[in-house]
Each structure stands twice: as structure tokens, then as C-alpha cells.
Amino acid sequence: MLIQQVVNGLTLGAIYSLIALGYTLVYGILTMINFAHSEVLMLGAFMALGLAALLPAVFGTGLVGLVGMFVLSMAGAGLINVLIERFAYRPLRNVSRLAPLISAIGVSIILQNGVFLWISTQSLRFPEPVAIGQVEVFGATISSLQIIILGLALGLMALLHFFVEHTKLGKAMRACSDDIQTAGLMGINPNYIIALTFFVGGALGGAAGVLYGMNYGSIKYNLGFLPGAKAFTAAVLGGIGNIRGAVLGGFILGFLEVLASGYIPNGAQWRDVIAFTVLIIVLLVRPSGLLGEKIAEKV
């Protein structure tokens, strides 16, 4: 039972982590919460649904089709996030701190209602990209879906790590995150780097949306809200703005939920209460999150 629950926690945590990365990347550069991120995630899932109907003709089914659907949905979600930044956030960037926040909430409502009104008000069936089988490992039943989800999520996180730490663009991103004005003076185009950050964050959100759809088999216009809120929590728990923190926070939240509903009698209905109680306690002890650094006041 323990191994089974560990696998359950890992799958849930991997999805939370991917979403949390989108929040944390944007916050790291703009110190702004992108409340529309949960909708980017939802749109990623819907794009994958649309592509799943079109793509088999191009790529065939099976792994190639899955990767094609995945990559295109990620690119689409990334582009949407860039457009949101360009039209809803950039014009307000230097106005006040509250204006882009309200704009973000507005974008979130517009996108959600757009899908509600134009696409579907109901749960839509999400296709199974590959046949799902079960593997027995030490008495735990692991579905191939869980392995795919975990593999893809960890792969993307490794890719992000490599991008941020070992490429020139990643270096520019880190520089902007440290001090965007100075980075600008050093010849980095901040608008370009911000757009890039939104693209990367959106693509990760889109990937999470596709994984979410695959994992639960159906998608709906409001699917982004709950995981979005939880992933945001995970990002804060790990220390918002910190990439490793987002991943850590996501997995911790996933495990907390699994532990609550799996081991505490009648814990399923208390799981959110338990998870958020732990969050409050952690924040009381470490206000800037587990891996967050104390930010020195900029003078």
C-alpha cells in the first residue's frame, strides 16, 4: 500500500510542480502573480483535445502522435501566455502593482467564459493517447499512464533546469530576475526575456494541462481553477520565484493530499484542510517559503 500511495503522490505532485513552475518563473522576473496561468493550463488541455482529433492523420497514433500532440499543445499554450503578457500586462507594467493583477484576473475570467460559451459547458472526453496497461511492482499496481505522466513531467523539469542554468538565454533570464533594469543596461532586451519567460511558463502549464486531461480522462472549462490554486500554493510553499522551490512545493503538496486521504480515517473530505494547515504552519516558520531567500529591500 505504501508504494502504491507513493506512486499516487508522485503523479499528483508532478502535475502540481509543472503548473507551479509557471507561476514561479513569471513571479521571479516581474514579481507579479499571473492569475491567468490556470486558464493557460486549461487551454493547453483543450488544444490537445482538438489536436487529438486532427493529428492521427498526420502522425498516426501511438507514441509519435502523443509527442506531436504534446509539443504542439505546449507551443500553443506558450504563445497564448505570450499574447496575454503582450496585450494585458505589458501596457500596465509600470503603472502600478495592482493594475496587472486585476488585468490578470480579467483575462482569466474572459478565457474561462470564452471556452464555456463557445466550446462546451460540459465535461468532454479526453482521448487515451496510448493503450493503458497495468504493471505490478512490489504489490503496487502502476498504470502505464502514471509512468508516462511522471516521465514527461520529470523530463520537462530537467529540460527547464538545463535551459535556465546552462544556456545563454537562461543566463539572461536569471539576470533579469536578479535586477531587470541593470540587465537592460547590460544589453539584454528585457521585453524579449519577459516574453520568453511567459512562453516557457505557458508551455509548461500547457504540458500540465495535457497531462491532467490524460490522467483524469475528461476536461472542462473550469478545470484550471483548482489545480491552479493548489499549484500557486505549492509555489509559495517552496518559495515563490525559486524554481527548485516550485518543484519541491508541488511534490510536498501532492504527498500531503495523498497521505491525508490515504491514511487518516475519513481523511478524503479533510484533505484540503490538512494540506493547507500544513502550508500555514510552514509559512509561519519560514515566511518566504522552504527554499525562498529573504529579499533585501531594494533602495
Q: With contacts defined by CB under 8 A, how many residues of the chain interact with other proteins?
A: 40
Question: Could you say whether residue 131 binds other proteins (CB under 8 A)?
Answer: no
Question: Could you say whether residue 216 binds other proteins (CB under 8 A)?
Answer: yes
Question: Could you say whether residue 272 binds other proteins (CB under 8 A)?
Answer: yes
Q: At closest approach, how far in Å is the CB of 5 from other proteins? A: 6
Question: Could you say whether residue 53 binds other proteins (CB under 8 A)?
Answer: no
Amino acid of residue 215:
N
Question: Could you say whether residue 243 binds other proteins (CB under 8 A)?
Answer: no
Q: At closest approach, how far in Å is the CB of 266 from other proteins? A: 6
Q: At closest approach, how far in Å is the CB of 13 from other proteins? A: 11
Q: At closest approach, how far in Å is the CB of 65 from other proteins? A: 18
DSSP collapsed to 3 states, the chain: CHHHHHHHHHHHHHHHHHHHHHHHHHHHHHCCCCCCHHHHHHHHHHHHHHHHHHCHHHHCCCHHHHHHHHHHHHHHHHHHHHHHHHHHHHHHCCCCCHHHHHHHHHHHHHHHHHHHHHCCCCCEECCCCCCCCEEEECCEEEEHHHHHHHHHHHHHHHHHHHHHHHCHHHHHHHHHHHCHHHHHHCCCCHHHHHHHHHHHHHHHHHHHHHHHHHHHCEECCCCCHHHHHHHHHHHHHHCCCCHHHHHHHHHHHHHHHHHHHHHCCCHHHHHHHHHHHHHHHHHHHCCCCCCCCCCCCCC
Residues 99-128 that bind other proteins (CB under 8 A): 116, 121-125, 128
Nearest to 33 by CA among 115, 89, 95, 94: 89
Q: d(Cα 66, Cα 209) in Å, to the nearest integer?
A: 14
Q: At closest approach, how far in Å is the CB of 66 from other proteins? A: 17
Interface with other proteins by CB under 8 A: which range of 24-32, 57-65, 106-114, 268-276?
Answer: 268-276
Burial of 135 (0-12, 13-18, 19+ CB in 10 A): exposed
Compare residues 146 and 177 and give the one whose CB is closer to other proteins. Answer: 146
Compare residues 77 and 260 and give the one whose CB is closer to other proteins. Answer: 260
Compare residues 94 and 266 and give the one whose CB is closer to other proteins. Answer: 266
C-alpha cell at 22: 509557471
Interface with other proteins by CB under 8 A: which range of 75-83, 149-157, 192-200, 256-264?
Answer: 256-264
Q: Which of 56, 184, 190, 262 binds other proteins (CB under 8 A)?
A: 262
Question: Could you say whether residue 37 binds other proteins (CB under 8 A)?
Answer: no
Q: At closest approach, how far in Å is the CB of 257 from other proteins? A: 7
Question: Could you say whether residue 61 binds other proteins (CB under 8 A)?
Answer: no
Nearest to 54 by CA among 76, 28, 87: 76
Interface with other proteins by CB under 8 A: which range of 57-65, 140-148, 149-157, 236-244?
Answer: 140-148
Q: What is the CA radius of gyration of the chain?
A: 19
Interface with other proteins by CB under 8 A: which range of 81-89, 192-200, 202-210, 266-274?
Answer: 266-274
Q: At closest approach, how far in Å is the CB of 91 from other proteins? A: 33
Residues lying near other proteins in the complex (CB under 8 A) are found at 1, 4-5, 8-9, 11-12, 116, 121-125, 128, 132, 134, 141, 143, 145-146, 212, 215-218, 220, 226, 257-263, 265-269, 272
